[in-house]
């Protein structure tokens, strides 16, 4: 029993569950304020879960004794049903093997090679963006989602991946992800989903997207090698010298698309919002880009040249961590200090709560990029800040994501002036990812100083 951990009663958990579904951050932060940095409650009044913002407990669960913790049902079972086996949905030895293989796709050399594909993809997306901003204020959230998804998709399948195929796969992932969330939040509807044809409809959609991507994989087996992630997945070898099958390459590609789908775009949306309300920070970031890059696009070789901008990105990911929580299941009973974690219980690493903890950050709601100056970083207790998770399952795309964010931000800030449209309420919505609930509307105009046109950036 986890008697040493303060808890919310089953009854209170049950009566709070509609509020929890509406705004989990509000409810969990209120519990944490009352009960401290580790507490118990019952998900939907049913399943016991231990929530923690304590860095010692988080470090133990994600890193020190990571072997004892599995990923949650939503990730492994439900996503596995649609996505097959791959990095996001496997555990133990099969996961370790895949991780070793895929890691190569994200090393320095590969990111250098991907920069050109990413730049071209962005230049193409900006042509569309230019058209949209002519029509009036835009909601930046879907725009950034389109930019980042196209970039990840082309990083995977190469520059020749057709725009209509990107759109089809993106729509499929969005629709299937929403369906998975419904299956999880309303499990009692699952038999109905099966008989009504809803399940089949989503399975068919996924199969169609699979077939499109499989064509690219099959074609690549007979083509000249590319400098994209697909090539690195195909070239990777297990210890016995075997490579991945087409089906495995497909399943891993799909998983990377899902993992890279909404994360960077959410981070970027919040970042632009924060900058739009802080002109002095905006100016400094723009100056840093101008000083280092002039008119040139940003590539991986440049990423270390923007210390101030990097602090701004880190602070934005602190205030609005796209993965607002990380969930695990304890395999066997475990203990960290006074905290006893019973076998089978769910552990919620409440990332948003840890990033907003007063004892760790002093004035957590304030936007202060200097928190991430090197000196301050050195003094920070590990696992008080973890936008990319931690331990062996730390985000495999974290360097890629930083490159992507810097690349897009550098282009937007040098090309446009922008302001928040008045009269909107900017609110957080914590589903799988922390999104802006009502979007973020902004008006963009072409900046006077720099006259870089997207059409000039698309390489011939």
Binding site for ligand HEM (CB under 6 A): 71, 87-88, 99, 152, 255-256, 259-260, 263-264, 267, 322-323, 326, 387-389, 393, 395-397, 400-401
Whose Cβ is closer to ligand HEM: residue 339's or residue 351's?
Answer: 351
**Closest approach of Cβ 157 to ligand HEM, in Å?**
12
**How many of the other CB atoms lie within 10 Å of CB of 187?**
12
Q: Helix (H, G, I), strand (E, B), or coil: what is residue 102?
A: helix
Whose Cβ is closer to ligand HEM: residue 8's or residue 383's?
Answer: 383
Whose Cβ is closer to ligand HEM: residue 179's or residue 400's?
Answer: 400
Distance CA 68, CA 64 (A): 9
Whose Cβ is closer to ligand HEM: residue 259's or residue 450's?
Answer: 259
Whose Cβ is closer to ligand HEM: residue 37's or residue 110's?
Answer: 110
Question: Phi/psi of residue 442, each to 5°?
Answer: -140, 150
Give the residue closest to ligand HEM by C-beta.
Answer: 397
**Closest approach of Cβ 99 to ligand HEM, in Å?**
5
**Closest approach of Cβ 144 to ligand HEM, in Å?**
11
Spatial CB neighbours of 212, under 8 Å, sequence gap ≥ 6: 165, 168, 169
Whose Cβ is closer to ligand HEM: residue 372's or residue 400's?
Answer: 400
Spatial CB neighbours of 400, under 8 Å, sequence gap ≥ 6: 106, 111, 114, 155, 260
**Closest approach of Cβ 270 to ligand HEM, in Å?**
10
Whose Cβ is closer to ligand HEM: residue 323's or residue 418's?
Answer: 323
**Paired sense of beta strands 346-349 and 47-52, if any:** parallel
The candidate with the shortest Cα–Cα distance to 216, out of 157, 144, 298, 130, is 157
How many residues make up the chain in this entry?
Answer: 460
**Closest approach of Cβ 56 to ligand HEM, in Å?**
18
Whose Cβ is closer to ligand HEM: residue 159's or residue 259's?
Answer: 259
**Closest approach of Cβ 256 to ligand HEM, in Å?**
5
The candidate with the shortest Cα–Cα distance to 300, out of 223, 407, 446, is 407
**Paired sense of beta strands 38-43 and 47-52, if any:** antiparallel
The pair of three-digit structure tokens given for residue 134, joined into one six-digit string: 């002519």
Tell me which residue has tokens 């991780």.
Answer: 99
Distances (CA, A) of 453 to 114, 302, 417, 456: 22, 21, 14, 5
Whose Cβ is closer to ligand HEM: residue 282's or residue 408's?
Answer: 408
Distance CA 263, CA 389 (A): 13
92-100 contacts, C-beta under 8 A, 24 or more apart: 97/238, 98/252, 99/392, 99/396
**Closest approach of Cβ 313 to ligand HEM, in Å?**
9
């Amino acid at each position: 029993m986890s008697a040493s951990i303060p808890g919310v009663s089953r009854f209170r958990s049950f009566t709070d569950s509609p509020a929890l579904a509406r705004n989990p951050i509000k409810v969990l932060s209120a519990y944490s304020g009352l009960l401290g940095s580790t507490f118990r409650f019952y998900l939907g009044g049913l399943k016991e879960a231990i929530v923690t913002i304590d860095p010692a407990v988080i470090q133990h669960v994600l890193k020190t004794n990571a072997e004892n913790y599995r990923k949650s049902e939503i990730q492994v079972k439900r996503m596995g049903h649609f996505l097959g086996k791959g990095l996001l949905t496997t555990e133990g030895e099969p996961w370790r093997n895949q991780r070793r293989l895929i890691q190569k796709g994200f090393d320095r050399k590969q990111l250098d090679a991907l920069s050109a594909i990413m730049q071209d993809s962005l230049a193409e997306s900006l042509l569309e963006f230019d058209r949209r901003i002519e029509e009036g204020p835009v909601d930046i959230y879907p725009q950034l989602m389109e930019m980042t998804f196209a970039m990840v998709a082309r990083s995977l399948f190469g520059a020749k991946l057709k725009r209509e195929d990107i759109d089809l796969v993106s729509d499929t992932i969005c629709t299937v992800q929403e369906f998975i969330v419904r299956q999880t939040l309303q499990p009692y509807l699952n038999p109905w989903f099966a008989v009504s044809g809803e399940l089949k409809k989503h399975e068919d959609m996924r199969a169609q997207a699979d077939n499109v991507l499989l064509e690219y994989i099959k074609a690549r087996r007979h083509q000249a090698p590319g400098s994209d992630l697909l090539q690195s997945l195909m070239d990777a070898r297990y210890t016995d010298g075997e490579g991945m099958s087409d089906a495995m390459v497909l399943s891993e590609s799909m998983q990377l698309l899902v993992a890279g789908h909404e994360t960077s775009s959410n981070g970027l949306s919040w970042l632009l919002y924060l900058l739009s309300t802080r002109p002095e920070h905006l100016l400094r970031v723009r100056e840093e880009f101008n000083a280092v890059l002039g008119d040139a696009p940003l590539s991986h070789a440049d990423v270390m040249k923007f210390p101030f901008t990097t602090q701004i990105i880190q602070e934005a990911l602190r205030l609005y961590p796209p993965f607002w929580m990380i969930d695990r299941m304890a395999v066997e009973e475990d203990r960290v200090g006074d905290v006893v974690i019973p076998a089978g219980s769910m552990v919620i690493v409440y990332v948003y709560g840890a990033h907003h903890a007063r004892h760790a950050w002093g004035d957590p709601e304030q936007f202060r990029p200097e928190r991430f100056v090197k000196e301050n970083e050195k003094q920070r207790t590990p696992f008080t800040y973890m936008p990319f998770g931690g331990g062996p399952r730390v985000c495999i795309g974290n360097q890629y994501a930083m490159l992507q964010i810097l690349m897009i931000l550098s282009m937007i800030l040098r090309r446009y002036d922008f302001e928040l449209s008045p009269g909107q309420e900017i609110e957080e919505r914590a589903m799988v990812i922390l999104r802006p609930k009502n979007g973020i509307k902004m008006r963009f105009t072409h900046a006077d100083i720099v006259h870089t046109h997207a059409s000039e950036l698309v390489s011939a």
